Amino acid sequence: MSNSRQSLPEPAQILLVEDNPGDVRLTEEAFKQGRIENDLHVVSDGNEALEFLSRRGEYDDAPRPDLILLDLNLPRKDGEEVLKELKADADLRSIPVIVLTSSRAEEDVVRSYELHANAYLTKPVDPDDFIETVRAFEKFWFSVVRLPPEEDSHE
């Protein structure tokens, strides 16, 4: 019995910007268990994230992500810088960015929203809770929220 409820015709393209291999593994695990077809792309620092998004260097054939999961504490260029550059770019600013970080600091939350993050999630310490958090926002972002189309038609 096929269910043609609003499923995405193609897998969702998700960019995970995360330097902690354990958190990458947990996120991959959560997406594997989820019901949404997705392609999870992983980069481990802010410079790589911007190269991926700009399709530079080894990422010249990278897909445009439907959603970006961004850690704040990254080597080379931190998540705040990535967010600032991303939201200043007319071609990229419509991509939703979810800050997924271990920081519970109030100023990080405030700053992320000032830089136009679409959501701020604190990583749970417990691995099962972490997987549950990722699955809950996956369901929310890909089942409930309407994402912007790939090309901005009113330019």
Q: How confident is the model at residue 120 (pLDDT cuts 50, 70, 90)?
A: very high
Does 153 fall in a domain? no
Does 2 fall in a domain? no
pLDDT for the residue 77: 93
Q: At residue 19, what are phi and psi to the nearest 5 degrees? A: -100, -5
What is the spatial distance between Cα 106 and Cα 51, in angstroms, rounded to a whole number? 29
pLDDT for the residue 153: 41
* CATH code for the domain in which residue 85 is found: 3.40.50.2300
Q: What is the mean pLDDT of residues 25-33?
A: 87
Burial of 123 (0-12, 13-18, 19+ CB in 10 A): buried
Does 155 fall in a domain? no
Does 5 fall in a domain? no
Segments forming the whole domain that contains residue 71: 12-142
For residue 23, the one-letter residue type is D
Does 20 fall in a domain? yes
Domain count along the chain: 1
For 35-90, write each residue's pLDDT tens digit: 778 899 999 999 999 999 999 999 999 999 999 999 999 998 999 999 999 999 99
Q: Looking at the whole model, is its pTM more than 0.75?
A: yes
Does 22 fall in a domain? yes
The token pair at 58 is 């080894």
The count of residues in the chain is: 155
